[in-house]
Amino acid sequence: MDLEAVCKRSALHAKPQGLILQYGTAGFRTNAQHLDHIMFRMGLLAVLRSKQTRSTIGVMVTASHNPEEDNGVKLVDPLGEMLAPSWEEHATCLASAEEQDVRQVLAAIVEKEAEDLTQTAFVVIARDTRPSSEKLSQSVIDGVTVLGGQFHDYGLLTTPQLHYMVYCRNSGGRYGQATVEGYCQKLSKAFVDLTNQVSCSGDVKRSVKVDCANGIGALKLREMEHYFSRGLSVLLFNDGTQGRLNHLCGADFVKSQQKPPQGIEMKSGERCCSFDGDADRIVYYYCDADGHFHLIDGDKIATLISSFLKELLLEIGESVNLGVVQTAYANGSSTRYLEEVMKVPVYCTKTGVKHLHHKAQEFDIGVYFEANGHGTALFSEAVEVKIKRLAQELDDGKGKAARTLASIIDLFNQAAGDAISDMLVIEAILALKGLTVQQWDAIYVDLPNRQLKVKVADRRVISTTDAERQAVTPPGLQEAINDLVKKYTLARAFVRPSGTEDIVRVYAEANSQESADRLAYEVSLLVF
Ligand code: 16G
Ligand code: ZN
């Protein structure tokens, strides 16, 4: 490792003195102007991680649903997963080092991880459509090359597409071909196989309206739609030709504001969905005949998917361990429905995709979704092999169910939650089951809920346990929340420090909107 050369080049990507940024829940994120040094250094770190794991590592330049002037970066581990926690710490140390200390921090990482520096390194890079992304990804490449790493720049990809590429490259082709075409073909073939089972009924062609948040999702859907257009037509809105990224549109806006995005025309009963800026989240919605807006969030998506999977497993006659993973934000009605009606075990983890993903890996089939619409389903290798074998061997009703399940397995992006893949899964399930969006929505009724942000002097005084559902500190806070919750019916409330903003988040739900609003407000006064 030529540290002299690294330091010289690092000076060209100098860190503003005193600027300290943390590798947060989903990597570094802030105003794009402050990120050049971070990008260069994450190029360096990706090379070290690649040498250590002897695998291809991914670097994604995006700030997801943040405003257009922000940007960010995250590393993708060998199986397409989020970076391991010990390396998040290395990332924070390296990003925070003043210029003269970079050499020392790099050497410390090499020593701690017992790196074999003679190993080759390979890094794949992609970016979203932000104006700042292209230049910032060049800084990543600069970091990769100065440490002697090889790289492939995919250019514009959705975040989950990059996760998919990393997984493909490290699975020796077992998972799929690591190209955009490979991704499009794998998903489309699975989707067409599924929808071919229904299209013979002479139905009019299905269609869905998609709000692309003025982001990368529009480009990638356009690139792909001709592969599956016989089964589904997608009508794109907020495709980036006019509006600003994530501005008054996109999955995060729709979920948090509980209203339709700007720039989409909705007719009563029409199925619509929104992606976020890097297309790793999706929520659905529709307007009823009275013009009322109905949101179908990640919880209802998880319910649709897990009930469909469970039905198929029953038909096939296989007993398989299927579990659903949620966070504290999951609507109480969804948890109750899954546990009591569907008899599916439900687990709760801390917020952040990496926590849900790891928990879901414990099951033969693990379905995980955050209420905000990030999620997917994971299938153990044993289950995948078995189902695909049964799909070939059996030719009765069981064989048909096995073939459906085999296609569904291929349609999921098992590396990360993926708005395009999830949309195709949902569209296929609705078509196969002949469900309208209203029928899907009616599976259960969401409990009214309210989220509030509270600005405090130091959000770290609040610490939590039990997957963020109980406050440990400050002392007395949890008891006070419990006392408030007791006054309401079907109520629940919790507080947690945000992992992405300098605020505390309050969540409350109860049997009426007024109660949920009041409870959230009362809890926020405790935090203040
Ligand atoms: C990040 C997470 C998302 C989580 C959100 C919570 C990933 C890829 N993204 O966007 O899963 O819901 O942070 O933010 O992990 P908060 O801590 O500010 O509530
Ligand atoms: Zn995102």
Alpha-carbon distance of 502 to 261, in angstroms, equals 26
Give me the count of residues in the chain: 528
Ligand nearest to the CA of residue 498, numbered in listed order: 1
pLDDT of residue 26: 86
Q: Is the CB of 217 under 6 A from ligand 1?
A: no
Q: Is the CB of 352 under 6 A from ligand 1?
A: yes
Q: Is the CB of 500 under 6 A from ligand 1?
A: yes
What is the DSSP secondary structure assignment for residue 339, as one 8-state letter? Answer: I
β partners of residue 497 = 504
Cβ pair 269, 438 in contact under 8 A: yes
CA of 448 to the centre of ligand 2 (A): 25
CA of 77 to the centre of ligand 1 (A): 18
What is the DSSP secondary structure assignment for residue 330, as one 8-state letter? Answer: S
Which of 349, 351, 358, 498 most suits a substitution to test ligand 1, by most atoms within 8 Å of the C-beta?
351
Residue nearest to atom 12 of ligand 1 (CA): 352
Regarding pTM above 0.90, the answer is: yes
- Look up residue 167 and give its two tokens: 């997984």
Cβ-proximal residues to 441 (8 Å cutoff; 6+ apart), any chain: 286, 294, 296, 300
What is the DSSP secondary structure assignment for residue 29, as one 8-state letter? Answer: E
pLDDT of residue 388: 96
Give me the active site residues, please: 64
Q: Which residue, 158, 15, 136, is CA-closest to 69?
A: 136
State whether CATH 3.30.70.2340 applies to domain 3-156. no
Sign of CA pseudo-dihedral 206, 211, 214, 217: negative
CA of 63 to the centre of ligand 2 (A): 7
Which of 353, 418, 452, 504 most suits a substitution to test ligand 1, by most atoms within 8 Å of the C-beta?
353
Residue nearest to atom 3 of ligand 1 (CA): 352
Residue nearest to atom 10 of ligand 1 (CA): 26
Q: Is the CB of 26 under 6 A from ligand 1?
A: yes
pLDDT of residue 396: 86
CA of 385 to the centre of ligand 1 (A): 33
Parallel/antiparallel/unpaired status of strands 122-127 and 150-156: parallel
Q: Is the CB of 322 under 6 A from ligand 1?
A: no
Parallel/antiparallel/unpaired status of strands 322-327 and 346-349: parallel
Q: Which CATH number fits domain 298-426+435-441: 3.40.120.10, 3.40.190.170, 3.40.50.10420, 3.40.50.720?
A: 3.40.120.10
Q: Is the CB of 370 under 6 A from ligand 1?
A: yes
User: With b meaning 16 or more CB within 10 Å and e meaning fewer, what string describes 144-166?
Assistant: bebbebebeebebbbbbbbbbbb
Q: Is the CB of 24 under 6 A from ligand 1?
A: no
Residue nearest to atom 4 of ligand 1 (CA): 352
Cβ-proximal residues to 107 (8 Å cutoff; 6+ apart), any chain: 3
pLDDT of residue 1: 76
| pLDDT, one tens digit for every residue, the chain (528 residues) | 788 899 999 999 999 988 899 998 889 999 999 999 999 999 999 999 999 999 999 999 999 999 999 999 999 999 999 999 999 999 999 999 999 999 999 999 999 999 999 999 999 999 999 999 999 999 999 999 999 999 999 999 999 999 999 999 999 889 999 999 999 999 999 999 999 988 655 556 799 999 999 999 999 999 999 999 988 999 999 999 999 999 999 999 999 999 999 999 999 999 999 999 999 999 999 999 999 999 999 999 999 999 999 999 999 998 899 999 999 999 999 999 999 999 999 999 999 999 999 999 999 999 999 999 999 999 999 999 999 999 999 888 899 999 999 999 999 999 999 999 999 999 999 999 999 999 999 999 999 999 999 999 999 999 999 999 999 999 999 999 999 999 999 999 999 999 888 899 999 999 999 999 999 999 999 998
Question: What atom of ligand 1 comes closest to residue 74's alpha carbon?
Answer: 8
State whether CATH 3.40.120.10 applies to domain 181-296. yes
Q: Is the CB of 374 under 6 A from ligand 1?
A: yes
Which of 500, 501, 505 most suits a substitution to test ligand 1, by most atoms within 8 Å of the C-beta?
500
CA of 390 to the centre of ligand 2 (A): 36
Question: What atom of ligand 1 comes closest to residue 372's alpha carbon?
Answer: 12
pLDDT of residue 426: 98
Alpha-carbon distance of 186 to 258, in angstroms, equals 34
Q: Is the CB of 421 under 6 A from ligand 1?
A: no
pLDDT of residue 397: 86
State whether CATH 3.30.1650.10 applies to domain 449-527. no
CA of 296 to the centre of ligand 2 (A): 18
β partners of residue 286 = 294
pLDDT of residue 510: 98
Class of residue 458 by CB neighbours under 10 A (exposed 0-12, middle 13-18, buried 19+): exposed
Ligand nearest to the CA of residue 358, numbered in listed order: 1
Q: Where do the domains of the chain lie? A: 3-156, 181-296, 298-426+435-441, 449-527
Residue nearest to atom 5 of ligand 1 (CA): 352
DSSP-derived 3-state class of residue 524: helix
pLDDT of residue 412: 98
CA of 72 to the centre of ligand 1 (A): 13
Residue nearest to atom 19 of ligand 1 (CA): 498
Q: Is the CB of 360 under 6 A from ligand 1?
A: no
Cβ-proximal residues to 318 (8 Å cutoff; 6+ apart), any chain: 386, 387, 390
Which of 327, 349, 368, 374 most suits a substitution to test ligand 1, by most atoms within 8 Å of the C-beta?
374
Alpha-carbon distance of 78 to 178, in angstroms, equals 13
Cis peptide before 260 (omega within 30 of 0): no
Give per-residue pLDDT as tens, 124-136. Answer: 999 999 999 999 9
Side by side, which strands form the sheet with 207-211? 233-237, 207-211, 272-275, 282-287, 293-296
Q: 145 vs 34, 152, 166, CA distance in Å?
A: 22, 11, 19
Alpha-carbon distance of 136 to 61, in angstroms, equals 7
pLDDT of residue 345: 97
Question: What atom of ligand 1 comes closest to residue 64's alpha carbon?
Answer: 10
CA of 361 to the centre of ligand 2 (A): 21
- Tokens 């879901």 belong to residue: 360
Which of 22, 25, 70, 456 most suits a substitution to test ligand 1, by most atoms within 8 Å of the C-beta?
25
pLDDT of residue 202: 53
Alpha-carbon distance of 41 to 15, in angstroms, equals 10
Where are any strands of DSSP class E within 149-252?
150-156, 207-211, 233-237
CA of 110 to the centre of ligand 1 (A): 30
End-to-end CA distance of the chain: 50
Ligand nearest to the CA of residue 372, numbered in listed order: 1
Same fold, 3-156 and 181-296: yes
Q: Which residue, 135, 173, 280, 305, is CA-closest to 220?
A: 280
